[in-house]
Structures are given as structure tokens and as C-alpha cells.
Amino acid sequence: MIRVLIIEDDRLVRKGLISALPWEEHDMKVVAEAGNGQQGLDVLEAETIDLVITDISMPVMNGLDMMAEMQDRQLQVPVVLLTLHEEFSYVQRALRMGAIDYISKTEINEESFAALLQRINQRLQERQSHELPGTAKRRLTSSEGWALLCPDGTFSELTPLLKETAPSATVDGVWFWEQQLSWTQESVVEELRAAAISRNAFGQIIYTTDIANWTLETATLDLKEYRDGLGFYEMGEAIPFVHRSEADVSIVASPGRAAKHVLQPLRSMDWLRFDHTMDQLKQALMENGISTEVLKQEMYAIVNEWNRLYGALLPNQLTLPSYDCWECLEKWLNYIKEIFEQSAGKPQLSGEVQACIYQAVHLVHEQIGDALHASELAKRVNMSRSYFSQCFKDITGETFNEYVRRIRMDQAKVYLWQTEKPVSWVAGEVGYADQKYFSRVFRETTGMLPSEYRRKGDK
């Protein structure tokens, strides 16, 4: 049973958390509570606590000062933040100090209680799985060090040596050595690069400074988090070398709220039109701190959307490869770009024209319930009406009106299969204000009225 201490100066909030959350379902039990950081320290000194959930802003001693004091007293208890602060800088500072997660009070509701505790439990398990044995807790003897970062699974059976020295610590594709007086930058970079290239690995070499306060454990875990964040965009086949201070490595990845906005050029197909889009996309992802995990989730959704919208125009369904760094993903995107260009009907059409038509297809699916006219779509993708209509048929094999009608009828079938909504509702959802006209078009397309199709199904 995980013994929990809750620290919150608002008594009603504190009691509400204790009574409302399903602690026992997640093998947890609230065994103590406190109203500020000082009281929390007193409890930690007196009782066995496995998890601290604390507010940041409190009288007497706030949550951040309490965490600093915990470090000084070597009270190594996992901390989860409870905060109203929307400024991510507060959260970043606390996460750098060792907090395992944070909870925004504004996002807590009854439906999220179980998910919150499940997430915290998962963080605790991850922390335990990354615990390093023996000397992992000792502070480093040098304020400088070297790290080789590679994707998970690299060197799964072999550990690279540096100057015939085994790593001081290693975890999940991260190898760390404390700097030795005799080591020169040129020789270290050459040796680590050769070790990675000999195994056909993608990776990155980091020379870290100002790390006197690190332990071996924080060194590897911070470097692993860096590898899964900014490092993903820096790693490559050539094994680039960079210099990073402790503050640089400890930058915490964003929760990913900006990912959908940053990746919008991929959804809208703008990326097919401009050669510089990839560089801009990479820069935006790095500036927003989008982690590898968030990026892969978003790319999975985007590829599914591409298959749904453009699958009929492509030779095969698109699949995501297992990519290890941005360099790999960029190569794959360029490959996909070639597939889209080759799938366009006439090779003499420019890449920009092809991208405009793919963008128009995206808009048709996105606005299927609205009035759709070739003249309006042509204007939105910066083409003349006549040239747009000609190119649209060249690429899709159908006139604009034929394509829109087919897409609307396909979506109407889905609504008729999967919902019990009246036919008038289905008609409106696919862009027909007149139910009778919709039924006539549907019958011309399928040979059945909508009501008959719903009864018989598409057999």
C-alpha cells in the first residue's frame, strides 16, 4: 500500500481530495495531511511516507521551498504538484527539482479522479524501474561529463566503452561518463562517434557542464528525458556533437498542448507546396518542446487521416515506420511527398498545383456539411476556377461535383449504418438542405432510398 501525504493550505480542498479520490482502488492510502510545507517536513521526518502530493503556493513554506529542504535533508520521497498556476515555469522548476508529475486544480473533476491516480501510480512504477543500484545516489566527482544518447534498444547487448572505461551509469539508450583529467574533447568525440557508427546507430554526443549537483541517477534520467525531447530533433546518422549545461539538459518537455497547432501544415497539405516547410516545422516543434511520444501520437492520427482522405488516390495505404529521430522522420515525409506527387494524374502538373488540389480535397472532407462550390474552393487555394476544375479531374479522376457527391453519399451511408438519426438529419449533415432532393440523389447512387438502405444494409 502506497502511503500518501497531502499538503494543502485550503482545508476544504484538502478534505475534498482525501474523501473524493478512489485511493484504495489504486493501492494508495492517505495516512497524513498538512497545511504548509513546514508541517509537511515535520510529517516526513516523523512517519514513513511513499508519496507527497503538495500545493505550490502556501503560507509559512511553499511547495518549492519544501522540496529544496527535502533535498537538503535527503528525504527522497516522490512528489506530485497540486497547483493553480497556469505558468509552466513554476511546474518546470519543480519538475527539475525531482517532482514526478503535476495536477492542475482547474482540471480536476469527478470523471478524472481515477485517471489521475492511475497516472501517478504509473509514474511511481516508472521511477522504480529506473532506480539505479549501489552508487546511483552519490553526487558526481566532476562538474563535467560525457553522454552518448541513442534511441531505445540500441546496443541492447553491448555497452560502449570510452577510453576502456565502462559508463558511470546507463539507462535505456543513455550512457554517461564522468570527465577524466586526461580526456580531450577531440578524442572522446571521435571514440564515441565510432562506437555508434560501427553499430549503424543514430545518436548524439553531449558534453555536459555545471553538473556538480547531479547524482548518477539524475544524470541518466535527465539525459533520457532530454533525449526524448529536444534530443530527438538533434540526433542523426552522423552522430552530431553538442555542448549542453545542466540547465539546458534539464529543460522539461511540454505536455504537448501545442502539437496539433504546430503540425497543422501536415494536415492541411501545405507542406507539399513549399520546400522550406520541413525546416520551419522542425523549428516550431523544438521551440514548443514537443516530445517524441507526443509527436508519434500526432503522426499516427495524421497518417490515419491521410488514408481516409486520400486513400482512393494512392497506390497503397500509408503506414508509419519506426523512426528514431527527426532525420528519419524527415526522410520518410519526403518519401511520402514523392508518393503524393507520383499519384497525381499528370506528371506535368507542378508540385504546388498538386498540393493545392490535395488541400482542396482536405477542405471538402472537412466541410462536407456546408455548401461546396468549385469557384469558392478554387479561390481558397489560389487557382482560377477553370484551371482548378481541370486539375481536380486530372488528379482525382472525377469532376469536382462528382467527387463531392460521392464523398457525401459515402458519409451518408455511414450515418445510416451507425446512427438512428432521421433521414432529414443525415441529409443536413452531408450538405443537403432539401431532404427530398437528398433522397433522390441517394437513390440514383445506390439504387435504394435512404430508409431502404438503412433496413437492408450495404450487402
Closest CA to 257 of 288, 228, 281: 288
- Is 382 a member of any domain? no
Quick one: 410 and 431 in the same domain? yes
Using the 3D structure, point to which of 210, 225, 249 is the last residue of a domain: 249
In terms of pLDDT, which residue wins out, 257 or 329? 329
Quick one: 269 and 228 in the same domain? no
- Is 276 a member of any domain? yes
Quick one: 11 and 122 in the same domain? yes
Tens of pLDDT, residue by residue over 352-369, are 788 888 888 888 888 889
Question: 197: buried, middle or exposed (CB in 10 Å: 19+, 13-18, 0-12)?
Answer: middle
The total number of residues shown for the chain amounts to 459
Closest CA to 36 of 68, 16, 64, 72: 64
The count of structural domains within the chain is 4
Question: 392: buried, middle or exposed (CB in 10 Å: 19+, 13-18, 0-12)?
Answer: buried
- Is 306 a member of any domain? yes
Quick one: 29 and 120 in the same domain? yes
The whole-number pLDDT of residue 207 equals 94
Using the 3D structure, point to which of 129, 161, 180 is the last residue of a domain: 129
Quick one: 184 and 217 in the same domain? yes
- Is 348 a member of any domain? no
Tens of pLDDT, residue by residue over 45-72, are 999 999 999 998 889 999 989 998 998 8
pLDDT classification of 458: cutoffs 50, 70, 90:
very low
Quick one: 111 and 18 in the same domain? yes
User: Do residues 263 and 213 lie in contact, with contact meaning Cβ atoms separated by under 8 Å?
Assistant: no
What is the pLDDT averaged over residues 104-118?
68
pLDDT classification of 157: cutoffs 50, 70, 90:
low
The whole-number pLDDT of residue 255 equals 53
The whole-number pLDDT of residue 374 equals 92
The CATH number linked to 441 is 1.10.10.60
- Is 362 a member of any domain? no
Tens of pLDDT, residue by residue over 419-432, are 888 999 999 999 99
CA gap 456, 158 in Å, rounded? 61
pLDDT at 7 over 50: yes
Closest CA to 101 of 118, 292, 138, 246: 118
- Is 355 a member of any domain? no
Quick one: 228 and 188 in the same domain? yes
Quick one: 213 and 313 in the same domain? no
- Is 378 a member of any domain? no
pTM strictly above 0.85: no
In terms of pLDDT, which residue wins out, 160 or 208? 208
Tell me which residue range forms the domain holding 83: 2-129
Quick one: 229 and 266 in the same domain? no
In the three-class reduction of DSSP (H, G, I as helix; E, B as strand; rest coil), residue 98 is classed as coil
- Is 244 a member of any domain? yes
Quick one: 9 and 125 in the same domain? yes
The CATH number linked to 9 is 3.40.50.2300
Quick one: 265 and 292 in the same domain? yes
Using the 3D structure, point to which of 129, 152, 174 is the last residue of a domain: 129
pLDDT at 132 over 60: no
pLDDT at 134 over 50: no
